[in-house]
């Protein structure tokens, strides 16, 4: 089943992203405001690059995926406005979306991030250095619908069953993690 393979085969790339995206600081409550601003700026740029690909898709996305409800740009723009930061431009960020399996592999990374956002949001709310920040729009994700949206995504992902298509999705997810790792490593204050 694709779900188990994609999780296990992208674990190393996922862990590499966590190593440069302030995971330790977030979970220990030591993330400072400058680091939080960088998280928002980089996430905005990454999500924008990925979501711009949606208009260029040359295949039909199942309506059950509810793609029109999955955009994170507006949430990130609210956070940037709240923080008084400008967007960061990233060059050469291209997520694999040429085929439906590639698109789903890339989307796996972004939707997994949204799922993890609820845990991150709780940690940010407890962080005394960020107590003056009244809302964490991006990390709120879909709010109480986050679990449902993840399940809808998994339902579509699990329909990819042919080995070649599964391999394609996994490669796209790994590539997405690698590009995100590079963006954080080269575009933030993160301790490498």
3-state secondary structure the chain: CHHHHHHHHCHHHHHHHHHHCCHHHHHHCCCCHHHHHHHHHHHHHHHHHHHHHHCCCCCCCCHHHCHHHCCCHHHHHHHHHHHCCCCCCCCCCCCCCCCHHHHHHHHHHHHHHHHHHHHHHHHHHHCHHHCCCCCCHHHHCCHHHHHHHHHHHHHHHCCCCCHHHHHHHHHHHHHHHHHHHHHHHHHCCCCC
Q: What pTM value is reported for the model?
A: 0.94
Dump pLDDT digits (tens) for 10-25. 999 999 999 999 999 9
Judge whether residue 4 has pLDDT over 80.
Answer: yes
Dump pLDDT digits (tens) for 90-129. 666 889 999 999 999 999 999 999 999 999 999 999 999 9
Q: Which class is 2-84+98-187 in CATH? A: mainly alpha
Per-residue pLDDT at 91 = 67
Per-residue pLDDT at 163 = 98
């Amino acid at each position: 089943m694709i779900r188990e393979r994609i999780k296990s085969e992208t674990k190393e790339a996922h862990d590499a992203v966590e190593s440069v995206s302030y995971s330790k600081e977030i979970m220990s409550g030591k993330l400072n405001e400058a680091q939080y601003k960088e998280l928002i700026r980089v996430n905005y740029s990454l999500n924008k690059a990925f979501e711009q690909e949606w208009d260029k898709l040359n295949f039909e996305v199942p309506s059950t995926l509810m793609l029109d409800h999955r955009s994170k740009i507006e949430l990130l723009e609210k956070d940037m406005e709240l923080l008084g930061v400008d967007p960061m431009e990233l060059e050469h960020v291209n997520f694999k979306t040429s085929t439906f399996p590639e698109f789903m592999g890339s989307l796996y990374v972004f939707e997994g991030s949204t799922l993890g956002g609820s845990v991150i949001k709780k940690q940010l709310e407890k962080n005394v250095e960020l107590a003056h920040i009244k809302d964490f729009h991006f990390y709120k994700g879909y709010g109480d619908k986050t679990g449902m949206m993840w399940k809808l995504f998994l339902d579509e992902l699990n329909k990819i069953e042919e080995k070649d298509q599964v391999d394609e999705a996994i490669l796209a997810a790994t590539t997405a993690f690698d590009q995100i790792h590079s963006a954080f490593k080269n575009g933030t204050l993160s301790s490498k």
